[in-house]
Structure 1
Amino acid sequence: MTEDMNQVEVRTFSENDKVKGTVTKIEEKQVLVSIIGSKLDGIIPISELSSLHVEHASDVVKEGDELELVVTKVEEDALVVSKRKADAEKAWEEMKRRFETGEVFECLVNDVVKGGLVVDLGVRGFVPASLVEDHYVDDFTDYKGKTLSFKIVELDQEKNRLILSHRAVIETEKEQKKKQVLKNISAGQILEGVVQRITNFGAFVDIGGVDGLVHISQLSHKHVSMPSEVVQEGDKVQVKVLSVDLDNERISLSIKETQPGPWTNIEEKAAVDSVLTGVVKRIVSFGAFVEVLPGVEGLVHISQISHKHIGTPHEVLKEGQQVQVKVLDVNEKEQRLSLSIKELEEKEADNHVEYELPEEAKGFQLGEMIGDKLKGLKN
């Protein structure tokens, strides 16, 4: 027994030796440990407790903890040791494995610094602000203390550089979800979605993890100049799937197709003999098309424009002109509406000159007058 103890006492230590120690006392700027297998004590400076900045040693260790350590300096009666270096050696091996395999893992966000987030993985890991989310974040304060999933995107042990990304995890998950959604979507389905983005040519709608485009022509039955006239970002909308392109991962949607058409119940909205106010939309050689309801145009045939004879509709009408029309005929099935402008206008009296009989002819019959004329011709 004495021989074994003597061997322990005479053991010598060198810098970079790996040792184990038990925490015996926690002080403000250092931690004292009893080196296992030796009568020497070890001192861990607070800066050597973690790869991260430590305010209080008690935040990292507590009395009785058994730690793996690396000798950084040998003194006469004690060893200066580092928990940070021991953790880092093991951590780098684990980080290399995760980097090579592309493993996704969870980790606590220890701190928020200028430019991103900091995590402790035995070595300091940094998450640049651009790699935290797949959207812009103004303030990262609330991220401290959160547990997020990460993927290592850059590793350089020599430069002590470990870059992590939460965004890469989100994008991978979204891509997988997108493929699954695409498999389950087919033309003709009616789905609920949320307007994500508005452009000049339409609106992108999220239908459960994948965005589809509602072209401006499919937003409404009425004419739309700008998509923002009809929808806003964040709006919940019902859409009909028009087509699915699996190869290019594109989905065409329609809001218009989920809404009653402008011709629905047109026989009630534009009953025969009813008078409506409309706008001349198009003028053609045989008449004019007048919009009487949003998306509903009827034809005023050239013969129904005026009581007067006209060569072309342009003589009387111009595009954009507001007119009153009378409904002559309506057909919902064929989406036809016959209209008339002249039916609402009074027919002007015919211009004619009355023939005034001479004074001497008054009181005679017409036959007598003609007979006298004929006699004159014979003579």
Structure 2
Amino acid sequence: MMETLFYPEGHRLNAPENLAAISSPAALSEAQRAGRILESRALMCDGAHNLLVDLNGMRGLIPREEGALGIREGTVRDIAILSRVNRPVSFIVQDFIREEDGRITALLSRRAAQELCQREYIDKLCPGDVVPARVTHLEPFGVFADIGCGIPALLPIDSISVSRIGHPRERFLPGMDIRAVVKGRDRGRINLSHKELLGTWAENARRFQAGETVGGIIRSIESYGVFVELAPNLAGLAESKENIFPGQQASVFIKSVLPQRMKVKLIIIETFDSEPRRPRPPEYFFTGEHMEEFLYSPPESEKIIRTVF
């Protein structure tokens, strides 16, 4: 993957070079000449859906049609603008105008920043590229994440982790910074995956030993046993037990770890209900910038689980 100069919104907000560029009209003019992408916080959205932006005392204005890619064409709803209030926005300075009261207003374009990001970065991404992303909002079917200048990508729920979950909020919070791998494109939008970065079966199983009693989460109850999540990419199978329910916390005894069968056998000691835990930032086993494939299965296993990008 190429070295990127494009990041999710908020990444450059407090960077020294960004703060310097919005510190004065002269610095903003220089950034305009260079075509630099800057960031600041949107203060409000007026009745015409223009965004007002804080520029260190100077007024910045992002006209509605410059608020996001697709607004002008009608393919993106205005919620893409309204939802940026009190949040960082990326923009390119386009002009300066003098208001009737003598104040100078900088005309800004978030759309132009997104067009540049799309052309120079997102259009060049390939399957297997690992990118930084920032979670913007959660839906039952998956996660929308900003992969550059506010441009969204979709991370489906079944690609978040090997261990299945009921809702993305079990893993993520809006505003959380994550890494994700490019899986492909659907009608121009990048589709992401995440589970390939969370470690193989062997990498996760290595943390657990037979004879230990550890914590887990009841994920599903089947006729042949109960699946208990030990880690986002590792679940074990326990014998059935009465009065247990998906989503409960559990303490489980590890009977055996069987790489050949890719199984962790468990005994449920106790289950209990608790308040939902605040998701913690993911722990990544893969820290590179590109992967050609991901082999989840251990070498000893006859069953092959593989993702090829």
Whether these two folds match at TM > 0.5 is: no
Q: When the two structures are superposed, what TM-score results if normalisation uses the length of structure 1?
A: 0.37
Q: Which has the higher contact order (CA 8 A, sep 6+)?
A: 2
What TM-score does the superposition give when structure 2 sets the normalisation length? 0.44
Answer 1 or 2: which has greater helix percent.
1
